[in-house]
Amino acid sequence: MKMNFSKDELAMVYQYAAGTKEETLAGLKEIVPFIRDQQTREIVESTIRKLDAIPEPECRRFIADTKQRFIQKRDNSIRRRLAEAKAQASTEKPHPKRKEPDRERS
């Protein structure tokens, strides 16, 4: 079954991903009563409906794959930023060393 999830819904799946479909749904359902923002509530409820419509074990694989994609994206972002910082540091002029003030010996 092909289900289209929005970016926000996928983020909810990632944040509440658990070992099983039931555990993931339980985590999402648990937060619904505490959500004050209407748009966020709609995103969570839509995520619940869509996950609920996916049969096991397909849903378990979908949850695991979604979590893995988010982790991989995060790790790639960290690696990219580190590489950019290293490249920038290597092209910058080194800072001159500061001279230590002369101190009188007693």
Q: 93 in a domain, yes or no? A: no
pLDDT, tens only, 58-85: 999 999 999 999 899 888 888 888 888 8
User: Do the domain assignments include residue 94?
Assistant: no
| CB contact burial 83-106 (16+ within 10 A = b; e otherwise) | eeeeeeeeeeeeeeeeeeeeeeee
Per the structure, the count of domains in the chain is 1
For residues 65 and 30, give the distance between their C-alpha atoms in angstroms, rounded to a whole number: 23
pLDDT for 95 equals 64
3-state secondary structure of 5: coil
Please report, for the domain that includes residue 33, its CATH number.
1.10.10
Has residue 1 got a pLDDT over 70?
no
What domain range is 60 assigned to? 7-84
